[in-house]
Amino acid sequence: MSVTDDLETARRLASTLLKSDHENVELVVIDPNRPGWDHSVQYVWKCNDLVEAFALQQEAYHDHEFLIEDRTPPSSVVRRLPLGRGDAD
């Protein structure tokens, strides 16, 4: 799961996935402040912090990218938006 706080980044990624024949692409809106999110287990990492910690090359898209450790609890899902082929353009 790719996680971002930027709608344009989400649209761009969804469009890229759909154009490369991925199926069942969904935009999933999550809220890590909802019940069921255990912040001692489900960390949200900023990609920029990880890139810096591991001395990797910084890319512009890292500015709005996050990684979630462990899993996303179902109770934190606010909305699911299934994207049919071509809907993300």
* pLDDT per position as a tens digit, 3-48: 888 888 888 888 888 888 777 888 889 898 888 888 888 888 888 8
- Residue listed under structure tokens 């909802």: 34
Residue 61, φ and ψ in degrees, nearest 5:
-70, -15
Chain CA centroid to CA 48, Å: 14
pTM of the model: 0.67
* pLDDT per position as a tens digit, 48-75: 898 899 998 888 777 888 878 888 888 9
3-state DSSP assignment of residue 41: coil
pLDDT-derived band at 78, boundaries 50, 70, 90 = very high
